[in-house]
Structure 1
Amino acid sequence: MAWLRSALGAAVLLALFATGAMAQEKIRVGVLKYGTVNWALDAMTRNGLDEENGVDVEIVPFAGEDASNVALQAGDVDIIVSDWLWVSRQRATGADFTFAPYSTSVGSMMVAGDSDMKALGDLKGKTIGVAGGPLDKNWLLIQALAKKNYGTDLAGENDVVFGAPPLLTEKARSGELDAVLNFWHYAARLEAEGFRTLISGADAAMEMGASGPVAALGWVFRDSFAEKHPKAIRGFLAADKATKGLLESSDAEWDIVAPLTKAKDEKTLQTLRNRYREGIPSRSAAEEEADARTLYRLLAEIGGEKLVGPSRELVEGTYWPGLADGG
């Protein structure tokens, strides 16, 4: 009878496995092929944190941000990372996209370690590189702060160079730029090489009215998808939270993720790790949304319809209502 008990036990295990597999909901995540979001998704799927939370994550890589946005609009993926400005603009035109905070890490204005520039006002007359284009949120906020505190028109009184992040990083290294406003991970790489932060986008946002760090980037999905697949969205966001907890607490996990970061040495990896951890959201969704509304009004005033679209206020529903009940 031992063989019968063994067979019955195996059948029970197979049934439990099948039940667990059936309980998992697939969610297609669109990401930039070499973006920093891949670090977290690798840690999530490799450690089975998606499965533990009832979801089966399928990673769908794209060459650029516009491609992932189009894929979400077309229904080719279920969720991407984008910002609340884009979500609000889409909602203003009738779309049902919504946002859950992902990271407060934002760009920083970096200068060489031996630069004589100590404050924002010292940028007057300098050559500045800006990633993200003339309507980049951080650039607009830093311009507004410079005008407010120093009466300086950074766009009008400086030689401003717009370009791709890697190119601007190289120009900063070679000394062709006096300062460079670059995305957070490029800024972190420069920091590891001895550059220092003159001012960050987060600093500018708080000096212009935010009460704390605001997640510029978030998970973006459709209200309709969340309504049809509530377990998938809640499970994915729970897996994301667990992954952030792992990356926040485990240095060993960063040793595994290191090849994806393309860090050239241990100092660069440590700097990327530290700045990533600083960007893990820690405030309530209500606090974040209140500050986002404040910043939105300011950005609408500065950037106008080209930046925010037809609405002068952050459109209702931009932040996923499910966040209010712990989603």
Structure 2
Amino acid sequence: MNVQGLMKKSLLGAPLLVVTLCALALSARAADTEIRIGDMAQSLNGIASHVMIDQEFDHKYGVDLKYQGYPTLDGLFNAIRGKQVDVGFGGWTGFAQFRAQGFPVFNIFPVGRGTSLDVLVPADSDIQTLEDLKGKRVASYAGAAGTATVLLRVVLNDFYEFDPAKDGNLQYVGPGIIPTLLDSGDIEAGLLFDPLATKAIASGKYRSIGNLGDIYKEKTGDDFLWISLATNDEFAEAHPEALAGFLKGWVEAVDYVKSHPKVFQAYGEKLGLDQAGIDMLAERVTRDYATTWNDKYIDGLKAFAERANRVMDKGYLDELPDDAFSTRFVP
């Protein structure tokens, strides 16, 4: 066969090769294990989750990630307990409580250390430190048993010797109205989380008198855990390799977010943040990510559970089952 014939044959074979490769790729994707992941709607966790999907880190590790946002925390927790999702974001203390109550869910990996949990006051307030909150009206966005509320009460009780809940000065309100209540004077301080905390601080109308995650670390030496990832027993037993692959993809997505702060640009603009506010949000969120999960870290959580059990009402973390945590799927 002459050179022209060889070239013609090669060119004719090229489309077939492309089709074959595409078919193989589609076949591989079809074999990937679907994981339904549940989160709060508009949560910052969604940034890394969508990076994982957009950059195809899920398929890289044999997983097909399906993201579902829920408008309320109760709706999300019901979905996690009811196995409507396979993996879910939430406060680790909530998942531990569920485990103790007989629901087959458990923590498998950390997400955020709580370094975006700030106690805010109006910029012109006389309140300067957490110690000044004694006797003041304080609001928490997280509800009476929310992990962030528990952290606030533990920090104030153990390190500043007062508990606003027992003094009758702690109330629970939706996060969106905390700035309004601060403006009206109905409350004197409010616990908020990102992106709302960053938006409030960036406005110049409010300032932080204490970051709870940082304070807990300073006082105890332990990293706090605010948000974790949890799964259920049934899915874990049926798809252990998929969960391990999912966590590899998650860690890679977090690394991508840390090295590509531009992923915060569109998100921050939707919040109405200027560039300084967007940069602040990116710095705070990337600092909050946690990707170390081992027995030492979990021992620190158990120490916090003991503190919380002393501070909270009877029935809160009276029991902390060992199987409320697992390092089985750690990358």
* TM-score (ref. length: structure 1): 0.87
SS of residue matched to 1:82: strand
Q: Distance in 2 between matches of 1:136 and 1:3?
A: 64
2-structure distance, mates of 1:169, 1:31: 24
**1:281 matched to 2:287:** no
Contact map agreement 1:127 1:160 (CA 8 A) in 2: yes
Paired residue secondary structure (2:84):
coil
The gaps in structure 1 that reach 5 residues or longer are: none
Structure 1 residue runs of 4 or more that deviate by more than 6 Å after TM superposition: none
Alignment of 1:1-327 (within 5 A): 1-2=9-10, 5-6=13-14, 8-99=16-107, 100-105=109-114, 106-157=116-167, 159-194=169-204, 195-206=206-217, 209=220, 211-258=221-268, 262-308=271-317, 310-311=318-319, 314-323=320-329, 326-327=330-331
2:4 aligned partner: none
Query: Larger deviation: 104-113 or 135-144?
Result: 135-144
- State the alpha-carbon separation in 1 of the partners of residues 22 and 151 from structure 2: 57
Tell me: CA distance 1:153–1:15, structure 2 relative to 1, closer, same or farther (3 Å).
closer
Distance in 1 separating the partners of 2:296 and 2:170: 34
3-state SS of paired residue (1:142): helix
Name the CA shift for 1:63/1:253 in 2 (closer, same or farther; >3 Å).
closer
Secondary structure of 1:322's match?
coil
CA distance in 2, matches of 1:10, 1:152: 69
Deviations 1:157-185 (A, max 9, x none): 56434210001122224554321112243
CA distance in 1, matches of 2:101, 2:13: 62
Q: Which moved more, 1:226-235 or 1:104-113?
A: 104-113
Structure 2 distance, partners of 1:321, 1:113, is: 43
Do the aligned partners of residues 263 and 47 (structure 1) sit closer, same or farther apart at CA in structure 2, a change above 3 Å counting?
farther
Deviations 1:129-170 (A, max 9, x none): 222223344444434443444444433556434210001122
What code does the residue aligned with 1:319 have? F
Counterparts in 2 of 1:258 and 1:55: CA distance versus 1, 3 Å: farther
Q: Matched residue pairs, number?
A: 320
Structure showing greater Rg: 2
SS in 1 for 2:208: strand
Alpha-carbon distance in structure 2 between the residues aligned to 1:250 and 1:158: 45
* 2:155–2:212 CA contact under 8 A, matched in 1: no
Distance 1:33-1:134 versus aligned 2 partners, 3 A rule: closer
- Deviation, 1:28, is 0.8
**Equivalent-residue separation in structure 1 for 2:187 and 2:313 (angstroms):** 28
TM-score, scaled to structure 2:
0.86
Q: For residues 170 and 265 of structure 1, do their structure 2 counterparts lie closer, same or farther at Cα, with a shift above 3 Å needed?
A: farther
1:212 Cα deviation from its structure 2 partner: 3.0
The answer to whether the Cα contact below 8 Å between 2:113 and 2:224 also exists between their aligned partners in 1 is yes
